[in-house]
Structure 1
Amino acid sequence: MYTHSKQIRIGGIPAANAKAALILIHGRGGSAEDMMSLAQNLNAQDMAFYAPQATNYSWYPYSFMAPVKDNQPALDSAINLIDETVKQAIADGFTAEQIYFAGFSQGACLTLEYITRNAKQYGGAVAFTGGLIGEQINMNNYKGSFKNTPVLITTSDPDPHVPLTRVDASVAILKRMNADINLKVYQGKAHSISQVELALANQYIFNK
């Protein structure tokens, strides 16, 4: 079972000149470069970009709703790499309130899992088609308060990889932890990121 080497692509504007940091988490089969390209569609012109790269282009081997043990040690390694990415942004001078997240599919699941395990006031987060990870949601993993951090979750009904029931359950947990949630469900949308979703992200999260 693979674990992830520390590969973090840097882009956007230099941290010393940036007003915020954007952590970009790619999906299964995707890449850090894909997410760097995606960020060009966001109102993030004043941000430094940090995009961790999964070894073998996949963060964990099975569905995000498989038993957690089946996705180990890759899953823990993935979460640790995201934590390393956050720490790098903090070392570059950003506060948690200046850190934003955006992830797609597997990366959206990791985005939600990471921020909910480490709830505090962030700049904002976008999960393009994702939910909290595990066969059952383990509430023992989640603590803290988002202090009204804006979080946008988009998905389709049905989606071939992410059941709407899990998205709804994840939304309920984040709301209880004081996240300012916007959920948008599209009927029969392809498993991809649409221009409409990018516009929503700019409206709700990157509207500084």
Structure 2
Amino acid sequence: MARIFILWLHGLGDSGPANEPIQTQFKSPELKNTMWLFPSAPFNPVTCNNGAVMRSWFDVPELPFKVGSLIDESSVVEAVKSVHAIIDQEIAEGTNPENVFICGLSQGGALTLASVLLYPKTLGGGAVLSGWVPFSSSIISQFPQEAKKTPILWSHGTEDTMVLYEAGRAAIPFLKEAGVTCEFKSYPGLGHSISNKELKYIESWIKRRLKSSSPTCLQLNCLKEMFQSS
């Protein structure tokens, strides 16, 4: 069975270990060979919280986040480097890039989107939960062609008061302009949190995108070469 890698990025002020129970919601046999990683963001001063130091992937100028809110692109791009290093290592260990999935909530969702769109290879997918677009459209020209083939799943609660639903919806025209496939899922009545319904859908979404085990194909090719050379 092919190795699967899921990288989960937490929200502002949270931590990786606090999110580890999420993996217990993914019970499908197809995902039993999954390697999960829940890293913690470094401690940084955060502008929207009056410079208070907390776990933060990048600086956030203002919250609640709404359409037109200020963003700090340079801070985001710097954070992306750490995520890319994790992905590079996983691929170097033999995981098919298309079996690599990045998921993130809120600030982690924004970092998920940025990391996927700036990665030089096509990944299995990026799942953004209650996140936002941390870029202006001027950066679209920097997205690698292979990155644009990575599908995005966007989940957002209609009652989110921290990252407004309209700010989440703003991802649709942005990704359309970039040429990226995005499935947007609305969750009526959900605030700035994760629901079991969201997690179940993410699980099924990942399952649909899994690539079959590459060693089997390699074995078949080796057998073919053996017969041809005999």
TM above 0.5: yes
Q: Is the 8 A contact 1:99 1:122 kept in 2?
A: yes
Kindly report which structure 2 residues correspond to 1:143-158, keeping only aligned pairs within 5 A, or say none: 143-146=144-147, 149-158=150-159
| Residue matched to 1:61 | 59
Higher helix share: 2
Q: Is the 8 A contact 1:126 1:205 kept in 2?
A: no
The one-character-per-residue Cα deviations of 1:116-171 (angstroms, maximum 9, x if unpaired) are 1226421122111112204x443344342457544211112242232333323323
Number of matched pairs: 188
Output the CA distance in 2 between the equivalents of 1:79 and 1:52.
Answer: 13
| Residue matched to 1:14 | none
The one-character-per-residue Cα deviations of 1:69-115 (angstroms, maximum 9, x if unpaired) are 6xx54x33321111111111112211311211111111011001111
Q: Is the 8 A contact 1:20 1:94 kept in 2?
A: yes
Q: What RMSD in Å do the two structures reach over aligned CA positions?
A: 2.6
Kindly report which structure 2 residues correspond to 1:4-15, keeping only aligned pairs within 5 A, or say none: none
- Report % sequence identity: 24
| Residue matched to 1:102 | 103
> Whose radius of gyration is greater, 1 or 2?
2
The alpha-carbon distance between structure 1 residues 83 and 146, as it changes in their structure 2 partners (threshold 3 A), is: closer
Output the CA distance in 2 between the equivalents of 1:146 and 1:24.
Answer: 19
Output the CA distance in 2 between the equivalents of 1:141 and 1:147.
Answer: 11
| Residue matched to 2:77 | 76
| Residue matched to 1:13 | none
Q: Is the 8 A contact 2:118 2:143 kept in 1?
A: yes
Secondary structure, counterpart of 2:25 in structure 1: coil
| Residue matched to 1:9 | none
Output the CA distance in 1 between the equivalents of 2:146 and 2:179.
Answer: 6
The alpha-carbon distance between structure 1 residues 158 and 143, as it changes in their structure 2 partners (threshold 3 A), is: farther
Output the CA distance in 1 between the equivalents of 2:71 and 2:11.
Answer: 19
Q: Residue 52 of structure 1 aligns to which amino acid in structure 2?
A: P
Which TM-score applies when normalising by structure 1?
Answer: 0.77
Q: Is the 8 A contact 1:152 1:205 kept in 2?
A: no
The alpha-carbon distance between structure 1 residues 41 and 96, as it changes in their structure 2 partners (threshold 3 A), is: same
Output the CA distance in 2 between the equivalents of 1:114 and 1:61.
Answer: 16
Q: Is the 8 A contact 1:31 1:54 kept in 2?
A: yes
Structure 2, unpaired ranges of 5+:
44-54, 211-230
- Post-superposition offset of 1:181: 2.4
- Post-superposition offset of 1:27: 0.8
Structure 1, unpaired ranges of 5+:
1-16
Kindly report which structure 2 residues correspond to 1:176-195, keeping only aligned pairs within 5 A, or say none: 176-195=177-196
Output the CA distance in 1 between the equivalents of 2:20 and 2:77.
Answer: 24
Q: Residue 11 of structure 2 aligns to which amino acid in structure 1?
A: G
The alpha-carbon distance between structure 1 residues 31 and 116, as it changes in their structure 2 partners (threshold 3 A), is: same
